[in-house]
Every structure is written in structure tokens, then in C-alpha cells.
Structure 1
Amino acid sequence: MLASFLITLREGLEAFLIVGIILSYLSRLQVKQYHKYIYLGVMLGIVVSLVLAYIFQVVIYGMENELYQHYLMIFILLFATLVLSYMVFWMSNQSKQIKGEIEENLERLVTAGNIAGMVFLAFLAVLREGFESVLFFSSLSIGENISAQDGLIGASLGIIVSIILVYALMKGVKNIPIKAFFKYTSLLILIIAGGLFGSAVSMMQASGLAPVFMPIVYDISHILDDRSLIGTFLRALFGYNSSPSLLHLLSWALYMSSAVILWKRSYAYAK
């Protein structure tokens, strides 16, 4: 539940911050009559995201061929790892330019009276984050055995908190450490991505797509089993494995060490 909360909180903040920037800039231009079209774009983005979520579930779990289903799950895990990683590093490098680009595009749309363009701008902002959330939830449910109920509760709380934070920011609350929030939640998201990558490697080994080498490097399940209550929580959030194979352990360690180094460098340059 914590992983789904963190992801929707992060994704929701990105989407609603963009929407907040759009609404604020329209107010500054004294064209508040266009607000309703922005809300329409937001609603369309949410609806399409829900449709994508349904399609994902039907495609993944509706496959009769278990082998193809297995391959699709591996692809989703690897793709989610790639998208999560890209999202973190892209945000650290582009966050300063986003506001200016949005305002420039919006001013052009207002000048031209392009209502469809305004709707699409808000729609795209919500749909992009919504699609990423759908992808991440699918990968979490595949790799970490998160129940639909827990995922839904965490996602709902994340969206609610993100809306509250964005509303506070738009109202001029200055003591919200939004930059620090994005920086350190980025690190947590990279840790989650590392867990998904490890799960993908394990599934590839189980299906014969990757060599096993050493089935078990160590076994600490007698101390903390990854199927126990705490172990399941750690597995869902950090990719914890009480008895990893050699390839699983090396793959996870290589990803995490590379990701942390790049994370430090990207945020150092972003200052």
C-alpha cells in the first residue's frame, strides 16, 4: 500500500502542479472563462486513465496461454523499471523549464482562441501521469503480489494528499519543501524500480530466459521471511528477497548502485 501511495502522490503532484500552473496563468491573463475547459481536459484524462487500467488488467490476466502471459509480465516489469528511472532523471533536469514552456504554450493558445488545444494540454498532463501510474500498479501487482484493495487504498490516499498539497501551494503556502520532497521521493522511487527489476530477473530465470548460476546465495528466511507480514511489506517497497539467486542479487545491486550515482549527479547539477 505504501508503494502505491508514494507513486500516486508523486504522479498526482506532477499532474496537478501542471494543472495548477495552467489555471493560475489563465487567471493572470484575466481569462478565467477558460478554466472550465481545463477541468474538462482533467476529467477526460482521468477517464482515459481508468480505461487504460481496465484494458491492462483484461490483457494481462485474460490471456489463456500462460507462457505468453509470463512473457508479457516480464516486459511490463522491465518497461516500468525503465519508465520509472527515466521519469526521475528527466524531472531533475527539466523541472525548472516546465513552467515557462507551459505558460508560453498557453499564451499562444489563448491568443488564438484554441479551446481544443487548452483541453488537450490539461488532458495530456493528466493522461501522462495516469498512464505511468497504471503501468506501475500493474508491475507492482505482478512483481510484489500487492492486492487490488491495498493498491486502491494507497492510490486514493496518494491522490488526495497530492491535491491538498497542490492546493496549498497555489494558495501561497511557502513552507512546503516541495524541492526536497521531489528529490527524496525520487530516491525512494528508484528503490521501488530496483525491486521491480529484481522481480523481472527472477521471472526470466523461472521461464528459462536467463541463466540461474547459483539458485540461492544466502537464506535469511529464518530471520525475516519475504512471505511474512513485514517481509511482504519490504518486498513490495524495496524488492526485499530473503533467499535471492546470484543473478537476481547482482542485477539488483548493479541497478541500485548505478541509479544512486546518477541520482546524486542529476540533483547536484539541478541546483
Structure 2
Amino acid sequence: MLASFLITFREGLEAFLIVGIIISYLGKLQATKYNKYIYLGVTLGVIVSLIIAYIFQVVLLGIDDANLKHYLMIGILLFATIVLSYMVVWMANQSKNIKGEIEENLNNLVTTGNILGMVFLAFLAVLREGFETVLFFSSLSLSQNITMQDGAIGGGLGLVLSVILVYLIMKGAKNIPLREFFKWTGLLILIIAGGLFGSAVSMMQASELLPTFVPMVYDISSILDDRGLFGTFLRALFGYNSSPTLLHLLSWSAYMVGAIYLWRKTYSAK
């Protein structure tokens, strides 16, 4: 539930921040008559995101071929790892410029009276985050067996909190350390992505797409079993494995070293 909360909280914050910037700037331009088109774009973005989520579930649950379903699950996990990693780096690089770019685009749209462009601007902001959320939820459910109920509760709480935080920001709560928020939640997202990548490696080994080499490097299940209460929590959030294979451990370690190095380099350069 914590993983789903973190993902929807961050994704919701990004989407609602962009929408908040758009609505706020329309007010500065004294063009609030266009607000309804922004809300239309948001609504369409949510609807299309839900349709994508439904298609994901139908496709995954409707596949009878066990091998095909297994390969599709591997592909989703690997794709989610790439998107998660890219999202963190992209947000770090764009966080300072995104407000200015949105206002410049919106100013051009208002000047030309491009209503369709305004709808699309809000639609794209919500759809991008919605698609990423669907992808992450699917990956977590595939790799960690998170129940629909836990995912819905965590996701719902994350969305509600993101709306509240954006409201406070738009109302002038300037003391909210937004950059620090994105920095440290970005690190947690990368750790989650590392867990998804490790799960993909394990699935590829199970299907003999990758060699096993050493089937078990160590076994600390007597200390912290990944099937126990706390171990299950760590497995769901970080991909913890109490008895990993050599390739699993090396792959996960290589990803985490590279991801953390890139994370530190990206934020230290600002």
C-alpha cells in the first residue's frame, strides 16, 4: 500500500501542479473564461487513463497462454523500470523551467484563442501521469502480488494528499520545500524501480531467458524471511529477497549503483 501511495502521491502532485499553474496563470491573464476548457482536458485525461487501466487488466487477465503472459509480464516490468528511472531524472532537470514553459505556451494559446490547444495541454499533463501510474500499478501487482484493495487504498490516499498539497502551494504556501520533496521521493521511486528490475531478472531466469549461475548467494530467511510480515512489506516496496541468485543480486546492485549515482549527479548539478 505504501508503494502505491508514494507513486500516486508523486504522480498526482506533478499532474495537479501543472493544472494549478495553468489555472493560476489564466487568472493573471484575466482569461478565466477558459478555465472550463482546462477542466475538460483534465476530465478527458482521467477518462482515458481509466480506459488504459481497464485495457491493461483485460489484456493481462485474458491471456490463456502461460508463456506469452509470462513474457508480457517481463516486458511490462522492464518498461516500467525504464519509465520510472527516466521520470525521476526528467523531473529533476525540468523542475526549474516547467513553470515558465507552461506560461509561455499558455500565453500563446490565449493570444490566438486556441481552445483545442488549451484542452490538449491539460489533457496531456493528466494523461502522461495517468499512464505512468497505470504502468507502475500493473508492475507492482505483477511482481509483488499487491491486492486491488491495498492498491486502491494507497492510491486514493496519495491522490487526496497531492490535491491538498497543490491547493496549499497555489494559495501561497511558499515554505513547502517542493524541490526537496521531489529529490527524496525520486530516490524512493528509484529504489522501487530497482525492485521491479530485480523481479524481471528473476522471471527471466525462471523462464531460462537468463542463466542462473549461482542459485543462492546467501539465505537470511531465518533472520528476515521475504514471506514474513515485515519481509513481505519490504519485498512489496523495495523488491527485497532473502535468498537471491547471483545474477539477481548483481543486476539489482548494478542498477542501484548506477541509478543513485545519476540521481546524486543530477541534483548536485542544480
Answer yes or no: same fold by TM over 0.5. yes
Residue matched to 1:117: 117
- Establish whether residue 67 from structure 1 lines up as the match of residue 67 from structure 2: yes
- Distance in 2, matches of 1:12 and 1:92, equals 16
Structure 2 stretches of 5 or more lacking a match? Answer: none
Letter in 2 for 1:207: S
Which string of whole-angstrom CA distances, capped at 9 and with x for unpartnered residues, describes residues 32-86 of structure 1? 1111111111111011101100100111121010100000000000000000000
SS at match of 1:53: helix
Per the alignment, in what secondary structure is the counterpart of residue 173 of structure 1?
Answer: coil
> Distance in 2 between the 1:228 and 1:80 partners?
26
Deviation at 1:224, TM superposition (A): 1.2
CA RMSD in angstroms comes to: 0.6
For residue 155 of structure 1, what is the aligned residue in structure 2?
155
Structure 1 residue 136 corresponds to structure 2 residue 136: yes
More moved, 215-224 vs 195-204:
215-224
Report matched runs for 1:9-158 at 5 Å. Answer: 9-158=9-158
Instruction: Write the deviation string for residues 215-246 of structure 1: whole angstroms up to 9, x where unpaired.
Output: 11111111111111111110011110011000
1:222 has 2:225 as partner:
no
Q: Which SS does the other structure have where 2:23 is aligned?
A: helix
d(CA) in 2 for partners of 1:227, 1:53 = 28
Q: What is the aligned partner in structure 2 of residue 181 from structure 1?
A: 181
Write the letter of the residue equivalent to 2:67. L
In 1, the alpha carbon distance for the partners of 2:86 and 2:166 equals 23
The code of the aligned residue for 1:142 comes to L
CA distance in 1, matches of 2:110, 2:3: 39
SS where residue 77 of structure 2 aligns?
helix
Residue number in structure 2 paired with 1:268: 268
How far is the alpha carbon of 1:101 from its aligned partner?
1.0
- Partners of 2:119 and 2:48 lie apart in 1 by 14
Equivalent residue for 1:243? 243
- Detail structure 1 runs of 4+ shifted over 4 Å in the superposition: none
State the distance in 1 between where 2:230 and 2:138 align. 22
Could you tell me which runs of 5 or more consecutive residues in structure 1 were left unpaired when the two chains were aligned: none
Residue type matched to 1:245 in 2?
T
What amino acid is the match of 1:82? I
Q: For residues 168-204 of structure 1, what are the alpha-carbon distances to aligned partners after superposition, in whole Å with 9 as ceiling and x for unaligned?
A: 0000012211111000000000000000000000000
Distance in 1 between residues matched to 2:71 and 2:235, nearest whole Å: 22
Q: Deviations over 1:80-101 (max 9, x none)?
A: 0000000001111111111111
Counterpart CA distance in 2 for 1:163 and 1:199 is 32
Could you state the TM-score of these two structures normalised by the residue count of structure 1? 0.99
Percent of counterpart pairs with the same letter?
A: 73
The separation in 2 between residues aligned to 1:269 and 1:62, in whole angstroms, is 47
| Cα distance in 2 between the residues matched to 1:260 and 1:101 | 28
Looking at structure 2, the residues matched to 144 and 177 of structure 1 have their Cα atoms a distance apart, in angstroms, of 32
Give the SS at the match of 1:96.
coil
What TM-score does the superposition give when structure 2 sets the normalisation length? 0.99
1:189-200 alignment to 2 at 5 Å?
A: 189-200=189-200
